[in-house]
């Protein structure tokens, strides 16, 4: 290992400490077997192939500082730099824009305003035309881009931006859900209603009822690499853009739209992102379009890399929600009926708020059966950043609602919340398996997972011990909670559930694989390499993955919705199998053996008794004029969804898991510490157990951060006050659980025919962070001897925790005062 090039040498797969190497052949499905040309020969899988652990394909580059991100690319001659000028009002009419001093500033080449846009001043990703790239007459949030400075250096561009003088006439600004409701604010998307049965009458008839409201905060993505793009003009209006984007195709279309040129002239490429988490699904478009616009006007390459404060001020975040709920149940803790309204702060434009609020509804049941149910979304327009995709895409917020119902029932009945959970989970094959959107849950394993985890981590005993501890500890209280997740897998926009791949085998037998998915740290590229390794039985160093490029695989979907490996894995497999099929036909003829006597093994290609090195087979095939390249395609089967009727099967399957968290809370200050976390998660037949465990650990901590320290604060003028890591606190190293056990569910191949029976793993484990919120709530509940539901909102910052604790202490004091014990 001597130079950065040895990232090509992925090395042997090394399992992490809590992973095990799994014999991938077990997961081979009948359907895939039928497509496999080597089914009659027992295969020894190649080391590190799909279904086994393999280290990240860029690991060595990462640790060497040799993995390039947008700002690390070699800079073209004459590169210009761009910095945006932002609105300083939440809602206002622009009366005047004086850019004289900006233009005159040192190094400034060009100042872009709406007048410079040859095409459409519109980057709405959903065709709603409500999102100008640069503000025209009206600014709709504090931080909206109004102009952009193009200068010789980035420092010059940033300095010049400050010299602008913009005159405003303030308009009434609506900043949050409460204000939007009070003002009767418009919605950015149609409200969705899902209903089954008659929730109203069932609520009336239910033996017991609780209603309430909760709020759950938003979340900044805090990808470590901020938004960045570099555009290079080519001949005849061509434009090549390197963008840190999760959705190169959309970025390409937006650039074409803004420049008013055919998409065929625009190429977008991304090798890797320094984190995405949904924050670069649509939010990368603006920077890429501005860079391309500047490049097309100046004829010089242009780069835009947002400063962190600008990035956080400009871009959308996870939607915060207010959820109003009404739940009917019985003395056994069984839910009879649920009525919930989920209202979201969507920001100034639609962006993806429609599908995000839809998904909140799709998950407002979490793992639980609601006999009669009505769920309604309110995607409210506000004068704040346009909230967008973020890992879970509204799902986690919906689940927060579901789990609050459970908690209410538990405190009302006195049952352990775990028992309330267990008695309400979907029961596949019974009449209790129908979701609010009329999809049958065909694979409900939530209860089994919760029971297994509770057993594993000693939940019951620890819960008892904690209650004893709390009677003896005056200020420090401990709490424990075990929460499940059921997460629907597929884009709810059905047409997004397609993918393409392009696989080339070169005459030396090395393979290049391209696909439509983007690498943002989730290990997608590694898994795609593993699919090729497994099928061709090639070592990692023979398979090279390239940057994602709209010129190689067109019309791709966003790498989002946890779907990256599901969709692209199948497309890559399709391409590989096409090539394999040609090779088998050729080899059978060439070596005169039946096709089913050909097998790809780590030692080489077996043709009857003959063992041929893979590269020799390829060379022979080349001389025989066999095509060694193929595209691949996949579309997810079975799914359909009609928002007008609120019915369908939007998901191919569900991913499950459960987490148990134990916390300690200082009820004097609201400080909190996560003591121990145990997670059992369903990744199906994992494509790469080490990577999947990494996804789960990371998702948990991110989810816990969302619900605890990560607080977005806007002031009364609509200025985001938490716009950098100094003010916005994502979990640090010492916030990770002191004890942190993560295990994948054993022997759990996906019932559906996914890539090697794996399950998507990006978003579902994010929900495990919810166990922390409930553990904190459990700790606080001790202050009133577990008789009141603490109704702890999120994020549970020290202040929120202290407020909640004071509230319970006052209830307890009242109880003493009034003699009601």
Partner 1 sequence: MRDTLRFWLGDEYIVLHDVPPTMTALDWLREKGGRTGTKEGCNEGDCGACTIIVVRRNTTANDDEDLTWQAVNACIQFLPMLDGAQVYTVEDLRDPSGALHPVQTAMVEQHGSQCGFCTPGFIMSMVVFRKRAETKNGPVTDTDIDDALAGNLCRCTGYAPIIRAMRHALAAGPDRFDAETAKISERLATMETGEGVVIATDAGRLTIPASADELAATMQTDPAARIVAGATDVGLWVTKFGRILPHVVFIGQIPELRRIEATAQGVTIGAAVTWSEAEAPLCAIQPEMRDTFRRVAARPVRNSATLCGNIANGSPIGDGPPLLIAAGAELILRRGVQRRRIPLEAFFINYGVQDRTPDEFVEAVFMPVPEEGVLFRGYKISKRFDQDISAVMAGFSLTLRDGHIHTACLAFGGMAAIPKRAATAEAALVGRPWNEAALAAARDAVSQDFTPLSDLRASSWYRQEVARNLLTRFYAETAGQTPVRVSVRTHRAETAHV
The pattern of x and - marking residues 676 through 695 that bind partner 1 according to CB under 8 A reads: --------------xx-xx-
Segment interacting with partner 1, rule: CB under 8 A, options 450-458, 471-479, 626-634, 747-755: 471-479
Residues 6+ apart with CB under 8 A from 800: 670, 792, 793, 794
Q: How far is the CB of 88 from partner 1 (least distance, A)?
A: 15
- How far is 105 from 90, CA to CA, in rounded Å? 27
Cα dihedral 180, 183, 187, 190, rounded to 10, equals 120
Q: Could you say whether residue 88 binds partner 1 (CB under 8 A)? A: no
Residues 6+ apart with CB under 8 A from 69: 225, 228, 244, 272, 273, 274
Q: How far is the CB of 470 from partner 1 (least distance, A)?
A: 13
Kind and range of the H or E run holding 230: strand 228-233
Q: Could you say whether residue 624 binds partner 1 (CB under 8 A)? A: no
Q: Report the residue number, 549 or 702, with the smaller CB distance to partner 1.
A: 702
Q: How far is the CB of 635 from partner 1 (least distance, A)?
A: 29
Q: Which one of 711, 763, 799, 806 is the catalytic residue? A: 763
Of the candidate residues 31, 34, 733, 816, the single one contacting partner 1 (CB under 8 A): 733
Q: Distance from CA of residue 455 to its chain's centroid?
A: 30
Strands 511-515 and 498-505: antiparallel
Q: Distance from CA of residue 279 to its chain's centroid?
A: 9
Q: Could you say whether residue 797 binds partner 1 (CB under 8 A)? A: yes
- How far is 243 from 294, CA to CA, in rounded Å? 15
- Whether 536 and 580 have beta carbons less than 8 Å apart is answered as yes
Of the candidate residues 256, 664, 773, 804, the single one contacting partner 1 (CB under 8 A): 664
Q: Report the residue number, 202 or 270, with the smaller CB distance to partner 1.
A: 270
Q: Could you say whether residue 65 binds partner 1 (CB under 8 A)? A: yes
Number of CB atoms found within 10 A of residue 34's CB: 8
Q: What are phi and psi of 30, to 5 degrees?
A: -60, -45
The pattern of x and - marking residues 274 through 313 that bind partner 1 according to CB under 8 A reads: xxxx---------------------------x-xxx----
Q: Could you say whether residue 107 binds partner 1 (CB under 8 A)? A: no
Residues 6+ apart with CB under 8 A from 435: 362, 365, 426, 441
Q: Could you say whether residue 34 binds partner 1 (CB under 8 A)? A: no
Q: Could you say whether residue 474 binds partner 1 (CB under 8 A)? A: yes
Q: Report the residue number, 275 or 608, with the smaller CB distance to partner 1.
A: 275
Q: Report the residue number, 611 or 713, with the smaller CB distance to partner 1.
A: 713
**Three-state DSSP class for residue 733:** helix
Q: Could you say whether residue 8 binds partner 1 (CB under 8 A)? A: no
Q: Report the residue number, 18 or 25, with the smaller CB distance to partner 1.
A: 18
Q: What are phi and psi of 320, to 5 degrees?
A: -90, 150
DSSP 8-state class, residue 318: B
Segment interacting with partner 1, rule: CB under 8 A, options 32-40, 90-98, 395-403, 469-477: 469-477
- How far is 719 from 313, CA to CA, in rounded Å? 8
Q: Could you say whether residue 738 binds partner 1 (CB under 8 A)? A: yes
Of the candidate residues 32, 37, 43, 67, the single one contacting partner 1 (CB under 8 A): 67
Token pair in block for residue 492: 């709810």
Q: Could you say whether residue 812 binds partner 1 (CB under 8 A)? A: no
Active site residue 200: no
Q: Report the residue number, 328 or 694, with the smaller CB distance to partner 1.
A: 694
Q: Could you say whether residue 793 binds partner 1 (CB under 8 A)? A: no
- Whether 566 and 489 have beta carbons less than 8 Å apart is answered as yes
- How far is 452 from 462, CA to CA, in rounded Å? 15
DSSP 8-state class, residue 752: S
Q: Report the residue number, 121 or 243, with the smaller CB distance to partner 1.
A: 243
Q: Report the residue number, 103 or 729, with the smaller CB distance to partner 1.
A: 729
- Whether 434 and 440 have beta carbons less than 8 Å apart is answered as yes
Of the candidate residues 45, 50, 55, 229, the single one contacting partner 1 (CB under 8 A): 55
- How far is 139 from 84, CA to CA, in rounded Å? 14
Of the candidate residues 136, 666, 753, 785, the single one contacting partner 1 (CB under 8 A): 666
Q: How far is the CB of 690 from partner 1 (least distance, A)?
A: 5
Q: Could you say whether residue 159 binds partner 1 (CB under 8 A)? A: yes
SS (H, E, C) 603-659: CEEEECCEEECHHHHHHHHHHCCCCCEEEEEEECCCCEEECCCCEEECCCEEEEEEE
Residues 6+ apart with CB under 8 A from 21: 13, 15, 52, 53, 689
Q: How far is the CB of 246 from partner 1 (least distance, A)?
A: 12
Token pair in block for residue 349: 């434009």
Of the candidate residues 24, 51, 69, 543, the single one contacting partner 1 (CB under 8 A): 69
Q: Could you say whether residue 541 binds partner 1 (CB under 8 A)? A: no
Q: Could you say whether residue 47 binds partner 1 (CB under 8 A)? A: no
DSSP 779-795: HHHGGGTT-S-----BS
Q: Report the residue number, 673 or 811, with the smaller CB distance to partner 1.
A: 673
Token pair in block for residue 162: 């400050």
Of the candidate residues 51, 52, 58, 156, the single one contacting partner 1 (CB under 8 A): 58
Of the candidate residues 40, 162, 237, 635, the single one contacting partner 1 (CB under 8 A): 162
Of the candidate residues 263, 610, 727, 788, the single one contacting partner 1 (CB under 8 A): 727
Q: Could you say whether residue 698 binds partner 1 (CB under 8 A)? A: yes
> How big is the site for partner 1, counted in residues (CB under 8 A)?
96
Respond yes or no on whether the N-terminal peptide bond of residue 795 is cis (omega within 30° of 0).
yes
Q: Report the residue number, 64 or 179, with the smaller CB distance to partner 1.
A: 64
- Whether 544 and 8 have beta carbons less than 8 Å apart is answered as yes
Q: Could you say whether residue 672 binds partner 1 (CB under 8 A)? A: yes
Of the candidate residues 198, 442, 675, 753, the single one contacting partner 1 (CB under 8 A): 675
Closest CA to 745 of 729, 730, 758, 732: 758
Q: Report the residue number, 15 or 183, with the smaller CB distance to partner 1.
A: 15
Q: How far is the CB of 811 from partner 1 (least distance, A)?
A: 17
Of the candidate residues 520, 531, 553, 607, the single one contacting partner 1 (CB under 8 A): 520
- How far is 453 from 445, CA to CA, in rounded Å? 12
- Residue numbers 234-273 binding partner 1 by CB under 8 A: 272-273
- Residue numbers 346-365 binding partner 1 by CB under 8 A: none
Q: Could you say whether residue 465 binds partner 1 (CB under 8 A)? A: no
Token pair in block for residue 592: 């005169």
Q: Which residues are catalytic?
A: 763
């Amino acid at each position: 290992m001597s130079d950065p090039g040895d990232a090509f040498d992925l090395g042997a797969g090394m399992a992490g400490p809590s992973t095990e190497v799994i014999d991938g052949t077990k997961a081979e499905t009948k359907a895939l077997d039928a497509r496999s040309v080597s089914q009659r020969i027992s295969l020894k899988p190649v080391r590190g192939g799909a279904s086994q652990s393999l280290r990240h394909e860029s690991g060595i580059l990462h640790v060497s500082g040799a993995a390039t991100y947008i700002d690390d690319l070699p800079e073209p001659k004459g590169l210009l730099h761009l910095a945006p000028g932002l609105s300083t009002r939440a809602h206002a009419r622009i009366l005047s824009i004086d850019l004289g001093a900006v233009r005159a500033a040192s190094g400034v080449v060009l100042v872009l305003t709406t007048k410079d846009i040859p095409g459409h001043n519109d980057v709405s990703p959903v065709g709603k035309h409500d999102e100008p790239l640069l503000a025209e007459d009206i600014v709709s949030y504090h931080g909206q881009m109004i102009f952009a400075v193009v200068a010789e250096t980035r420092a010059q561009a940033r300095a010049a931006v400050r010299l602008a003088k913009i005159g405003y006439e303030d308009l009434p600004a609506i900043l949050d859900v409460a204000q939007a409701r009070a003002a009767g604010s418009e919605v950015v998307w149609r409200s969705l209603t899902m209903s089954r049965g008659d929730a109203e009458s069932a609520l009336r008839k239910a033996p017991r009822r609780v209603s309430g409201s909760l709020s759950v905060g938003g979340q900044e993505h805090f990808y470590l690499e901020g938004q960045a793009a570099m555009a290079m003009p080519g001949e005849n209006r061509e434009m090549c853009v390197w963008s840190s984007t999760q959705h190169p195709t959309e970025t390409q279309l937006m650039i074409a739209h803004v420049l008013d040129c055919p998409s065929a002239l625009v190429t977008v490429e991304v090798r890797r992102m320094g984190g995405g988490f949904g924050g670069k699904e649509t939010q990368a478009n603006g920077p890429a379009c501005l860079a391309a616009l500047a490049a097309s006007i100046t004829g010089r390459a242009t780069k835009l890399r947002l400063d962190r404060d600008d990035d956080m001020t400009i871009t959308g975040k996870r939607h915060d929600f207010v959820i109003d709920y009404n739940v009917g149940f019985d003395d056994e803790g069984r839910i009879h009926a649920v009525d919930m309204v989920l209202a979201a702060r969507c920001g100034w434009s639609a962006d993806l708020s429609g599908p995000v609020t839809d998904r909140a509804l799709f998950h407002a049941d979490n793992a639980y059966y609601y006999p009669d149910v009505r769920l309604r979304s309110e995607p409210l327009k506000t004068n704040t950043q346009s909230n967008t995709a973020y890992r879970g895409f509204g799902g986690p917020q919906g689940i927060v609602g579901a789990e609050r119902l459970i908690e209410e029932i538990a405190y009302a009945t006195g049952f352990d919340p775990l028992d309330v959970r267990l008695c309400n989970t979907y029961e596949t094959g019974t009449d209790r398996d129908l979701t609010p959107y009329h999809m049958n849950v065909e694979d409900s394993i939530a209860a089994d997972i919760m029971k297994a985890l509770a057993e594993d981590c000693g939940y019951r005993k620890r819960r008892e011990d904690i209650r004893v501890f709390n009677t003896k500890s005056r200020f420090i209280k401990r709490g424990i909670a075990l929460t499940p997740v059921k997460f629907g897998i597929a884009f709810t926009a059905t047409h997004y559930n397609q993918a393409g791949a392009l696989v080339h085998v070169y005459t030396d037998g090395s393979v290049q694989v391209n696909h439509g998915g983007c690498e943002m740290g989730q290990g997608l590229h590694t898994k795609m390499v593993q699919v090729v390794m497994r099928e061709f039985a090639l070592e990692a160093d023979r398979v090279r993955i390239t940057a994602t490029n709209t010129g190689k695989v067109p019309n791709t979907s966003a790498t989002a919705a946890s779907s990256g490996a599901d969709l692209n894995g199948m497309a890559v497999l399709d391409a590989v199998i096409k090539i394999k099929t040609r090779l088998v036909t050729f080899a059978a003829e060439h070596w005169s053996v039946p096709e089913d006597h050909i097998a790809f093994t780590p030692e080489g290609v077996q043709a009857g008794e003959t063992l041929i090195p893979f590269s020799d087979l390829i060379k022979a095939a080349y001389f025989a004029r066999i095509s060694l390249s193929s595209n691949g395609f996949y579309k997810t089967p079975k799914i359909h969804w009609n928002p007008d009727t609120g019915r369908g099967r939007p998901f191919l399957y569900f991913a499950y898991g459960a987490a148990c968290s134990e916390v300690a809370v200082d009820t004097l200050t609201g400080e909190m510490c996560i003591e121990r976390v145990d997670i059992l998660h369903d990744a199906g037949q994992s494509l790469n157990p080490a990577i999947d465990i990494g996804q789960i650990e990371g998702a948990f901590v991110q989810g816990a951060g969302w619900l605890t320290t990560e607080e977005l604060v806007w002031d009364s003028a609509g200025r985001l006050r938490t716009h950098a890591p100094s003010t916005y606190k994502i979990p640090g190293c010492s916030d990770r659980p002191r004890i942190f056990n993560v295990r994948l569910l054993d022997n759990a191949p996906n019932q559906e025919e996914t890539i090697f029976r794996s399950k998507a793993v990006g978003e579902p484990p994010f929900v495990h962070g919810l166990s922390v919120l409930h553990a904190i709530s459990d700790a606080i509940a001790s202050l009133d001897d577990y008789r009141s539901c603490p109704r702890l909102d999120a994020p549970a910052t020290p202040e929120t925790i202290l407020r909640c604790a004071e509230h319970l202490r006052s209830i307890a004091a009242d109880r003493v005062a009034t003699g009601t014990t």
